[in-house]
Amino acid sequence: EAPRPDASALLSLRNARFAKPQKHYYETPPQIERGWREFLFDMHGRCYLDMVNNVTTLGHAHPRLTTAIAHQWSLLNTNSRFHYSAVAEFSERLATLAPEGLDCVFLVNSGSEANDLAIRLAWAHTGKKNMLCLLEAYHGWTVASDAVSTSIADNPQALTTRPDWVHPVISPNTYRGPFRGPDSASDYLVDLTEKLQSIDEKGDGVAGFIAEPVYGNAGGIALPHGYLARAYDAVRQRGGLCIADEVQVGYGRLGEHFWGFESQDVVPDIVTIAKGMGNGHPLGAVITRREIAESLEREGYFFSSAGGSPVSCVVGLTVLDILRDEKLQENASVVGDRLKAGLIELMDRFPLIGAVHGTGLYLGVEFVRDREALTPATEETAAICERLLDLGVIMQPTGDHLNVLKIKPPLCLAPESADFFVRALEKALQDGF
């Protein structure tokens, strides 16, 4: 047998064979080979606290999930056009979790697919094409989900290359946007109303509005009070549909709420989910009202070979069972509060911390060079992430200025791990980075 390549040869192989635009963490990444709960282990057995992995909601290598997947693989995994119990049970569970009226489910394989399908549903149902979205947003990589993605951190050309059916609206960023504080909804809604009026004037109508109900990509910032309710009203008055992208913020991560849209007291027309619902297994879904779902028939059948396969549905069901049985939403709330309190306490000693955003286990620590001018501390944030890696913590920046730590660990995070993260950040800030 040929000898296996060593670590540096493997990294060279990856660099040589992987297409360059594919994102990766760290210039010199640790070679991660195992996971357990909120911990990752590299090839040398070094342990890291995984504070960034919002995909692995339950924690890494969950034994109950592993057993369920292995068992289902040993029985059946197939093209999702067949009928089997897991697809019926999982679709029913999702419809039960969603607000009343949202009773129809499409199963897909990722968040990008879910958002793409949601946009296609809005097009098919309204017969219109124009979509409103927010600035500083990310919704996926497929053609339609990418079109409504405006984050310049993900694509520096995003603002000059959107198709003409995409109408980005000022980010209601209550920390650093043009209007500050939780009561700024009216000010932010002026831009949204103007965009809608200019679509009205052209006479080609609006298909919908897509937004994260908590500003995930900007670092977990809450939208201003009442923003979505009034935005949804304005869009619906014109016959458009409102899409809530719950790919990051939904499914219990916020602690207090299972769904992000509950924090804004709204019910969307279409909800998209992925990431945490599969604990890393490729799984996504669109949940909507029957009449919206059925309007897609005008465009022919919908079919995704692996979307909603027996294994995927068993994964989805088991993830929901574990979330419930291990009370992970409650844990997100309790440990999230503890973590946030620890981070806020650091603010007194470290002026670089401008704000601690978020709730539950979706938090963002925003670094600024000056608390008045809010000058983004972009280089410092990158250096802090590198230093945290030395200290045994996986952490990455987010937001248009890449100056916010995106804190979204597995929901099984132990209180001791939350404390470890606060102490590691304190050390990085104390020692310099």
Rg of the chain in Å (alpha carbons): 22
CB of 19 to ligand PMP, least distance (A): 16
Is the distance from CB of 105 to CB of 286 less than 8 angstroms?
yes
CB of 351 to ligand PMP, least distance (A): 30
Give the SS3 label for residue 374: coil
CB of 20 to ligand PMP, least distance (A): 19
**Between residues 212 and 380, which has the closer beta carbon with respect to ligand PMP?**
212
User: What is d(CA 57, CA 277) in angstroms, rounded to the nearest whole number?
Assistant: 8
**Between residues 38 and 113, which has the closer beta carbon with respect to ligand PMP?**
113
Q: What angle do CA 213, 215, 219 make, to 5 degrees?
A: 150
Strand ranges of the sheet holding 270-273, from the earlier edge strand across to the other edge = 104-108, 284-288, 270-273, 241-245, 206-211, 130-134, 166-169
**Between residues 242 and 352, which has the closer beta carbon with respect to ligand PMP?**
242
For the record, the structure tokens of 177 come out as 């946007």
Q: Which residue is nearest to ligand PMP (CB)?
A: 111
For strand 353-359 and strand 166-169, is the pairing parallel, antiparallel, or unpaired?
Answer: unpaired
CB of 247 to ligand PMP, least distance (A): 4
For the record, the structure tokens of 16 come out as 């040589």
CB of 111 to ligand PMP, least distance (A): 2
CB of 275 to ligand PMP, least distance (A): 6
**Between residues 118 and 199, which has the closer beta carbon with respect to ligand PMP?**
118
CB of 139 to ligand PMP, least distance (A): 5
- What is the sign, positive or negative, of the torsion defined by CA atoms of 61, 54, 407, 405? positive
Q: For residue 174, count CB atoms less than 10 angstroms from its CB and return exposed for 0-12, middle for 13-18, buried for 19 or more.
A: buried
User: What is d(CA 137, CA 72) in angstroms, rounded to the nearest whole number?
Assistant: 37
For the record, the structure tokens of 264 come out as 């804004």
The torsion angles phi and psi of 209, rounded to 5 degrees, stand at -140, 125
Residues at the interface with ligand PMP (CB under 6 A): 110-112, 115, 138-140, 212, 216, 245, 247-248, 274-275
For the record, the structure tokens of 5 come out as 């390549």
CB of 140 to ligand PMP, least distance (A): 4
**Between residues 72 and 110, which has the closer beta carbon with respect to ligand PMP?**
110
**Between residues 136 and 212, which has the closer beta carbon with respect to ligand PMP?**
212
**Between residues 220 and 424, which has the closer beta carbon with respect to ligand PMP?**
220
**Between residues 380 and 400, which has the closer beta carbon with respect to ligand PMP?**
400
